[in-house]
Structure formats: structure tokens, C-alpha cells
Amino acid sequence: MRRRLVLLLSGCVATLLLITGSLYAASYAGVFTFVQSPVPIATASAVNGNSQPAIDFSNYSSVGNQTMSLRYNSKGTCNTTRDREEDVRASVASGGTSPTITVTFPGPTNVTYPLSNVHFHTHAEHKFNGTYEPIEAHLVHFNASAGAGRPQYVVVTVYLRPAAGWSEYDELLFNTPAECDPAVNRLDINPANLLPTSTTTSYRYEGSLTTGSSSPYPGPVAWVIFDPSVGRTLQSSHITAYENVFSGVGGNWRAEQSPTTIYKKPW
């Protein structure tokens, strides 16, 4: 009888994970585990993600333009030796108002995640349908008080492709500060233009950070990834300049980790 009960409970847990999806269920510390990131995104094998939590991006449009502080994020003390886990990142300058996203978890419970920083990897970390895009922007949202069973990090991934014109990402990444330089301010950044051009469909999984002091890297991180076709643009010269910063170490991306289930929302 005890063995049958254990099997029954195990089946219930498996069913719960299948129904609610990894973004919610897999974040319970001590019960489920998360995978290491990045993982490949293959849209053909993505599964129904209608049960994934809804995300409201409307505050990005209502918060207004911001001054963002851009700096080189050095690993450890400031030096001129490149590291694959370094990056250039932007955050809302002191006195500004960080845009937020609102995630609706089953219950329903709304949890607000402020934008912590926007940073960049070249080439992209998440291979999308077998291809690495030139640059992947991570919009990192963090809430240390998100609550039990909920990830503290929600990272929105926006792929950047070369194009003429001047985008919000060009405004951030032109003449980026060197490793030991002070931060520089970028004025009148419209946060809404940092999001993909459409937020209707996303690909979800629960993984880890892609940098850390040692492997495995911390998590869980709720990854929200958008198709490159709705990504943003960056002038070719700015892509090349960013690639050149990390050319000596082969780019600032973490190697692909073991594949996992990817959820598509809406289905």
C-alpha cells in the first residue's frame, strides 16, 4: 500500500509539473530543479505554454523616458584583461524610475519585477532554430521578495540584428565605455523601444544565470525569449565595435547547455 501511495504521489507531482509548466512549478526550492542556461530554442519542438504565467509589459510605455547609466561590467577588480563573463550594461540612473513587468502566477497572484539592468552578449547565448544571432540583449528583472515558489529573476531576451537607422540600442551602445572608464549617461531612453516589436508570443523555460563564480550558476531564472523577427536593430558598425571588445576571448557568451522543454505562449 505504501509503495502504491508513493507511486500515486509521484504521478501527481509529474502531472502538476506538466500542467503548470516549468516557469511556475519548477521554481519550488527543494522540490524541483532548474536547468543550466543557455539552452537551444527550437520552435518546432516547443510545447503548449498556455498555462505559463501572463506578463504585462504596459509599464514600459507609461513610465516615460529615462536617463540610463552605461558601464563596463568588469569581473572582479578593474583591469584590462578581458573575461568571457564581462559585459557592457545599462541601468536607470539614480533618481529615475525603473520600468517594471507584472507577472501573474496561478492563484492568481500578481508580482512586480523592476528592471535591474540591460546587458549584452555577443554572439547570442540562446541559439534560435539552429542560428546564433549577432547580439542578444538581456533585460534583467529582479524581485528579491517574489515569494516562495516564484523565481527572483525574470530575464527578457531581445535579439539584435544589423539595420540602418538609429535605434534605442544604438543610443545605448555607441562609444561604449572601456573597462576602467567611469559610467556614462544616455539621455531620453524610451524603455518601450527596448522591448521586442511584439510581445504576443514568447518562448519560456526556467533556467539559470549565465554568469557566476562557479558552475552550476544560480537560479531559478524565468527566461522569456522572443523570436528574432520581432527583435530590435543595431547599426552594423556598433555590432562590430561590440564584437571587437571581446574578440580576444571569442565573445562574451556562455556555451550551450543541455536542451530542455521549451514552452510557447500563446500556443
pLDDT tens, 165-181? 999 999 999 999 999 89
Contact indicator for 22, 263 with CB cutoff of 8 Å: yes
Contact indicator for 121, 252 with CB cutoff of 8 Å: yes
The predicted model gives 64-85 an average pLDDT of: 89
Query: In which element (H, E) is residue 242 found?
Result: helix 236-245
pLDDT at position 21, please?
38
- Domain 2-265 is classified in which CATH homologous superfamily? Alpha carbonic anhydrase (3.10.200.10)
pLDDT at position 214, please?
82
State pTM to two decimals: 0.88
Rg (CA), the chain: 19
CA distance 253 to 48: 29
CA distance 31 to 150: 13
Instruction: Kindly state the cell numbers that stand for 146.
Output: 517574489
pLDDT at position 116, please?
98
Please report which confidence band the pLDDT of residue 69 belongs to, taking 50, 70 and 90 as the band edges: very high
pLDDT at position 29, please?
39
- Judged against a pLDDT cut of 60, whether residue 137 lies above it is answered with yes
- Judged against a pLDDT cut of 80, whether residue 88 lies above it is answered with yes
pLDDT tens, 220-229? 999 999 999 9
Closest by Cα among 196, 181, 188, 192 to 233: 196
Please report which confidence band the pLDDT of residue 212 belongs to, taking 50, 70 and 90 as the band edges: confident
Percent of the chain topping pLDDT 90:
81
Q: What are phi and psi of 180, to 5 degrees?
A: -100, 10
Contacts of 267 (CB under 8 A, 6+ apart): 48, 49, 50
What average pLDDT does the structure give for the chain?
Answer: 89
- Judged against a pLDDT cut of 70, whether residue 24 lies above it is answered with no
Instruction: Kindly state the cell numbers that stand for 13.
Output: 507531482
Q: What are phi and psi of 111, to 5 degrees?
A: -125, 130
Domain residues of the chain, as ranges?
2-265
- Judged against a pLDDT cut of 90, whether residue 20 lies above it is answered with no
Please report which confidence band the pLDDT of residue 126 belongs to, taking 50, 70 and 90 as the band edges: very high
pLDDT at position 138, please?
98
> Is the sign of the CA dihedral 52, 58, 60, 63 positive or negative?
negative
Closest by Cα among 58, 43, 56, 24 to 222: 24
> Environment class of residue 212 by beta-carbon count within 10 Å: exposed (0-12), middle (13-18) or buried (19+)?
middle
For cell 524541483, what's the residue? 32
Contact indicator for 233, 137 with CB cutoff of 8 Å: no
